[in-house]
Amino acid sequence: IAIDTDSHILTGTCLLGKHIPSQVSQLTIHNCTSNQWRVIGRALAKSTNLKILQLTNCTLGNVFCSELSNSKSLLSLTIRTSAA
């Protein structure tokens, strides 16, 4: 699944409630900003099937990575500052 918000604000409810079914194993997020990265990171870390996560041009902080480090399923994490 790929999510591109065209620079809109991403929320935990929007991301997790509408876009990510529990069986998703690969997720790519582009051009996202949020003030809920802690919630998003925590929720993604709880996903039992998520293996590959790619983030490009997202306004992440240390708190997101800290929460995501609790994932038991994630095998690959890519964080980029440009889509090139």
Task: Give me the DSSP letters along 33-69.
Answer: B-S-HHHHHHHHHH-SS--EEEEES----HHHHHHHT
Question: What is the model's pLDDT at position 47?
Answer: 84
Contact by Cβ (8 Å): 53, 79: no
Say what the pLDDT of residue 1 is: 47
Helix then strand count (H, E) for the chain reads 3, 4
Quote the pLDDT of residue 31.
81
Q: pTM value?
A: 0.78
Contact at 8 Å (CB) between 48 and 74?
Answer: no
Q: Give the type of residue at 62.
A: N
Spans of the chain below 50 pLDDT: 1, 7
